Structure 1
Amino acid sequence: MPHMAIEYSANLDAKVDMGELCALVSRTILETGLFEPGAVRVRAFRAEAYAIADRLPENGFIDMNFRIGKGRSAEEKKRAGEAIFAVVTDHLGSLFATPHFALSLEIREIDAELSWKKNAIHPRLRGK
């Protein structure tokens, strides 16, 4: 872990390069120094069907769900969340110029006893 899932309304396709946004979020996660490179996953999911607020067609959203393993202090988690939210907010500044956009981020800790993983990337990046 960490895994960032970015869900977004389909009407943002012409306004946001989701590949670029994923790369930006990945870099920011790594820059926190809290996570190993081989563990980071960032992906975006397009929501075709959605109803936002007063259902105006120009309303759009991005919801970021950041799942991480246990072992970081509350201060570290808050610092990571603030860094990610700030860089994404800045990157999407033009969307906030209209009254039709909502951005959210939530960090969730994963219960290690209920999470199974096998990762062949770690040994390569660790040089083993």
Structure 2
Amino acid sequence: MPHMTIEYSANLDACVDMAGLCTLVSRTILETGLFEQGAVRVRAFRAEAYAIADLLPENGFIDMNFRIGKGRSAEEKKRTGEMIFAAVSEYLAALFTTPHFALSLEIREIDAELSWKKNAIHPRLRGK
């Protein structure tokens, strides 16, 4: 259950290909070798209303929240976060040339007893 939610300020629409960013994040998650392809979800949500720092209209943000199931070591989680953050930072390098952009990533573990799922994609990808 690796689910990445990307929230971003609407003013980034003109300068960031969000579909491309989602694809990059999905590929990077799979490259860790820790997650099954059929479970990976990456989605981006545009924030129309926001107030950032000193309220300049050119201020923008991307906040990534990565929810995963339990079972990975602290080292594996750290390596995963570092891989994702490095890939996204490189993808967004142009935004860091201005003093108006903030990027964040947080990894959260989900309590399996409080999470329900039903997935018809797994059998297809597993060849069953």
User: Could you tell me how far 1:111 is from its partner in structure 2?
Assistant: 0.2
In 2, the alpha carbon distance for the partners of 1:83 and 1:112 equals 25
Q: Distance in 2 between matches of 1:110 and 1:124?
A: 25
Structure-to-structure mapping, 1:40-55, within 5 angstroms = 40-55=40-55
Corresponding letter in the other structure for 2:95: L
Question: Any idea what SS the aligned residue of 2:61 has?
Answer: strand
Structure 2 counterpart of 1:78, one-letter code? K
Aligned-partner Cα distance in 2 for 1:75–1:120: 31
Q: Deviations over 1:11-64 (max 9, x none)?
A: 000010000000000000000000000000000000000000000000000000
Q: TM-score, normalised by structure 2?
A: 1.00
Q: CA deviation at 1:65?
A: 0.2
SS state at 1:49 partner: coil
Please provide the CA RMSD for this pair. Answer: 0.3
Q: Normalized against structure 1, the TM-score is what?
A: 1.00
The corresponding residue for 1:37 is 37
Query: How many angstroms apart in 2 are the aligned matches of 1:70 and 1:56?
Result: 40
Matches within 5 A, 1:6-85: 6-85=6-85
Secondary structure of the residue aligned to 1:72 is: coil
User: Which aligned runs of 4 or more in structure 1 are off by greater than 3 angstroms?
Assistant: none
Percent same amino acid among aligned pairs? 88
Count how many residue pairs are aligned between Structure 1 and Structure 2: 128
